Structure 1
Amino acid sequence: MLRPRLIHRLLIGLSLSLSVAVAAAQAPASTPAQTLGYAVPIGGALKYDNDAVWARLVQLAGGKGARFVVFATAAGNPNRSAELTIAALQKHGAVAEHIPVAPRLKDVDLKKAVEDPALIAKVRAARGVYFTGGAQERIADTLQPGGKPTPLLQAVWDVYRAGGVVAGSSAGAAIMSTTMFRDAQDVLNVMKHGMREGKEIDRGLGFVGDALFVDQHFLKRGRFGRMLPLMQAKGYTWGIGVDEDSAAIIRGSQIEVIGTKGALLVDLSQATRNAAVAEFNIRGARLTYLDRGDRYDLSKRAITPSPQKLKDLRIDPNAADFKPYFSTDAYWPDMLGDSIIVNAMGNLLDNKQREAFGLAYSGAPAATDSKPDLGFEFRLYKGADTIGWFTGSFGGEDYTVANMLLDVTPVRMNRPLYTPLAAPGAGSAPAKR
């Protein structure tokens, strides 16, 4: 039985064409280096029963019998993390084993281990490499100390260049680009105070090339707020933030999203900033939300929605016969909240309004914060090529949104932000906030 929402959308969407691909009319931009292998960043919190991801990893590595090596280098409990990962891979037909190279493993000489010919041979014999979650600095410091690749890391690159799979969840995803966040849990703090080499940011391993930045736990933790200043500072054209229990399969310029959620693709090729303002700001960042099953070609800036989306509804907010589902103004007081950015994009796509606003600020700044009153306004707005799709076939109300624009402007927040109203005769008013 069709949901009332879907019936409504079907009735108003019959005249809309089900286009398979949409390309923005822009000049080509730089894309990640062409390679033979697959880089698969997983957004973290990957469930061991997520067959869509685990089975696909094995399939990409050659199918049943594919050999995987597991690096639990980032983990707090490497043996347990490797054990669970190996079980998930073997459940789907892989042959997997642990490469015991991790700072948290007792009685392991890391300097010798990264040059061990036996371990190197095991890696080179594999068709897939999997990095577990934990602390990404442990991976970088162990396999690429001081930015210099070890022989064991070179063996991983040999697998990748030979057409193999290099996958990683959470910390294992963070290492995929040439620059990574090393330790920057507070997103707003990065927006307010910037990043330091060797502290908040560091060198990654770079499997996706030098034009694409990768981040993880992305929508759940509002990390697009820290991605934008990093991309701006480091000159990245593209960024992809993968959400939890989801993965992005990246091969050359091709991206496919699988799992239970999706990924946010950020394009700064035409973004600008106001150099007269010292604080972080940006105009014209282009956002595309790729839901599960969607594909994107970076070289063509072309999106191919999932078959489920193509069977349901195409939404063109610039069409003369556009009939939006939403009509009210939307405002988001915590733009860095759980999945708020993608919810805002879907709402605005299907709304008669052309723009929507939100804020990010600290309600209780630390005593050491040198910028306690600094906040940021977010303006989402539709462009001439903004387009999207909707489906209810996943069991919810799911949007794919392409080419939505974003400006971020620093603002000064009032202190207190608000004051309670005291009823007559009610005595003293509550404390100011």
Structure 2
Amino acid sequence: MPTLSQAQSKPGVVIAIGGALRSDNTEVWQRVVDEAGGTGARIVVFGTAAGNPQRAANLIVEPLTRHGARAEVIPVAPRLAGVDLQSKLNDPALIEQVRTAQGVFFAGGAQELIVDTLQPGGKPTAMLQAIWAVFNRGGLVAGTSAGAAIMSHTMFRDAPDNISVLQGRLREGKELDRGLGFITRQLIVDQHFLKRGRIGRLLPAMQATGYKLGLGIEENSAAVIRGEEIELIGARGGLLLDLTQASSDAALAAFNIRNVRLSYLDHGDRHDLRSGVSKPSTEKLVGQKIDPRAEGFKPRFMVEPFYVDMLADNAIVNAMGRLIDSPHPELRGLAFKGRAGAQDPQPDVGFEFRLYKASDSLAWLGGDDYTVLDLRLDVQPVQIKRPFYTPLAASH
């Protein structure tokens, strides 16, 4: 596989899609085609991660074709019935078909099937080298769900239980693995992020592996990554986690972290990894600016909520929006398992999330889209009592 410097000598474009991409999401599908060269661009589609690879690949070929691409299925998948994987993986004609394409698209499913097929034991196959050849000459590498997870140098292999990861279940080759590394080494990406509360697994993974920057991409949304520049497109956006100034207390016998910088980047927003500057979309910049420190600030949300499940569907980003547009300096919530399992690393340990404002916290509104920049987050372990509550006794 090319070294990082070789891969970035003429970097291509990565489009990491957060999963659940709708067939009518014209913005994302058209951007995939445009980044591959526009009308007539040849894009090869890998259904490698899918349980039904042919169906998954066809569901990608159809919208790509509708938006002007010449999309072609590459039949390299361990679960493709009636096809010998190794013969297809090493077929010179297929390898050349990939090498001469203008774009590559990975379907969703199980990301370990992609890395185990194309990079077994960490060693790149000729097929993977052909994909790198597309990227190295400025081509496109895109993927949805599992196809997005493999873009980082480190990826989640199999870690669906956020609380277990928070409690310490984070093993190399199990929950974590090496990805294919199409994006810069300083950034790790995760998918289905807000819908599935995956900040609960990304924070411990970043702390354990030394990543300072993480990007969690929401469903039906995408991050267009060109070298050090990120643009969010699609239905929603993504959560940017910055651990540059974060710290933890080693004396606590559980995961903990303080001073995480959180920003929610919505549709049309951009972030520059070199400068660390996030820029809201033009629509939001000409819309409403929310500055909690400004004279005459009129907050919309007066009630200070408590979030019983901070890892629930979109809970973290909803909390960010409510906090920035409120008079309160902070809000809190919990993450814990209602029923502990015998295999849980720390069955009675939960986590308090404290979200708070800093001197640089701001937000912008533009139509239905909004951007929240530079809130802070602390996560501390707490003891969970079981039962968590008891019925109120009647008085006689």
TM-score, length of structure 1 as denominator length: 0.88
CA-CA distance at 1:424 after TM superposition: 4.4
CA-CA distance at 1:234 after TM superposition: 0.5
Q: Residue 215 of structure 2 aligns to which amino acid in structure 1?
A: I
Distance 2:333 2:307 in 1: 4
2:392 aligned with 1:417, yes or no?
A: no
- For residues 89-132 of structure 1, what are the alpha-carbon distances to aligned partners after superposition, in whole Å with 9 as ceiling and x for unaligned? 00000001000000011233323322221111111111110000
Asked if structure 1 preserves the Cα contact closer than 8 Å seen for 2:223 and 2:232, the reply is: yes
Distance 2:263 2:42 in 1: 35
2:16 aligned with 1:49, yes or no?
A: no
- For residues 406-432 of structure 1, what are the alpha-carbon distances to aligned partners after superposition, in whole Å with 9 as ceiling and x for unaligned? 00000101122111113347xxxxxxx
Could you list the runs of 5+ residues in structure 2 that have no partner in the other structure?
Answer: 1-6
Q: How does 1:362-381 map to 2 (within 5 A)?
A: 362-381=337-356
2:284 aligned with 1:309, yes or no?
A: yes
Q: Partner residue of 1:26?
A: none
Which residue among 28, 46, 49 is the counterpart of 1:74? 49
Asked if structure 2 preserves the Cα contact closer than 8 Å seen for 1:35 and 1:251, the reply is: no
Which residue among 404, 419, 423 is the counterpart of 2:375? 404
Distance 1:317 1:34 in 2: 43
CA-CA distance at 1:370 after TM superposition: 4.7
Distance 1:33 1:278, change over 3 A: farther
Asked if structure 2 preserves the Cα contact closer than 8 Å seen for 1:35 and 1:252, the reply is: no
Distance 1:319 1:337 in 2: 32
Distance 2:54 2:346 in 1: 43
CA-CA distance at 1:321 after TM superposition: 3.3
Q: Which moved more, 1:113-122 or 1:240-249?
A: 113-122
Quote the sequence identity (%): 58
Structure number, greater radius of gyration: 1
Q: Partner residue of 1:104?
A: 79
CA-CA distance at 1:318 after TM superposition: 2.4
Asked if structure 2 preserves the Cα contact closer than 8 Å seen for 1:282 and 1:407, the reply is: yes
SS of 2:244's equivalent in the other structure is coil
Which residue among 182, 205, 208 is the counterpart of 1:207? 182
Distance 1:194 1:272 in 2: 20
Q: Residue 291 of structure 1 aligns to which amino acid in structure 2?
A: D
Which residue among 293, 300, 311 is the counterpart of 2:268? 293
CA-CA distance at 1:207 after TM superposition: 0.6
Q: Which moved more, 1:415-424 or 1:287-296?
A: 415-424
Distance 1:319 1:302 in 2: 21
Q: Residue 363 of structure 1 aligns to which amino acid in structure 2?
A: G
Instruction: Give the RMSD, CA atoms, in angstroms.
Output: 1.4
Which residue among 314, 320, 330 is the counterpart of 1:355? 330
- For residues 9-49 of structure 1, what are the alpha-carbon distances to aligned partners after superposition, in whole Å with 9 as ceiling and x for unaligned? xxxxxxxxxxxxxxxxxxxxxxx967521111100000111
Asked if structure 2 preserves the Cα contact closer than 8 Å seen for 1:389 and 1:399, the reply is: yes
Asked if structure 2 preserves the Cα contact closer than 8 Å seen for 1:267 and 1:286, the reply is: yes
Query: What is the count of residue pairs matched by the alignment?
Result: 390
Distance 1:272 1:186 in 2: 24
CA-CA distance at 1:308 after TM superposition: 2.0
SS of 1:277's equivalent in the other structure is coil
Q: Residue 100 of structure 2 aligns to which amino acid in structure 1?
A: A
Asked if structure 1 preserves the Cα contact closer than 8 Å seen for 2:47 and 2:56, the reply is: yes
Distance 1:320 1:138, change over 3 A: same
Q: Partner residue of 1:319?
A: 294
Q: Residue 384 of structure 2 aligns to which amino acid in structure 1?
A: M
Q: Residue 410 of structure 1 aligns to which amino acid in structure 2?
A: P
2:299 aligned with 1:328, yes or no?
A: no
Q: How does 1:88-127 map to 2 (within 5 A)?
A: 88-127=63-102
- For residues 395-414 of structure 1, what are the alpha-carbon distances to aligned partners after superposition, in whole Å with 9 as ceiling and x for unaligned? xxx42111111000001011
Distance 1:261 1:408, change over 3 A: same
Distance 1:120 1:84 in 2: 22
Distance 1:33 1:224, change over 3 A: farther
Q: How does 1:134-153 map to 2 (within 5 A)?
A: 134-153=109-128
Asked if structure 2 preserves the Cα contact closer than 8 Å seen for 1:34 and 1:251, the reply is: no
CA-CA distance at 1:331 after TM superposition: 1.1
CA-CA distance at 1:246 after TM superposition: 0.4
Distance 1:154 1:370, change over 3 A: closer
Q: Which moved more, 1:196-205 or 1:109-118?
A: 109-118
Q: Partner residue of 1:248?
A: 223
Distance 2:95 2:142 in 1: 18
Q: How does 1:239-278 map to 2 (within 5 A)?
A: 239-278=214-253
Q: Partner residue of 2:3?
A: none
CA-CA distance at 1:50 after TM superposition: 0.7
Q: Partner residue of 1:36?
A: 11
Asked if structure 2 preserves the Cα contact closer than 8 Å seen for 1:211 and 1:238, the reply is: yes
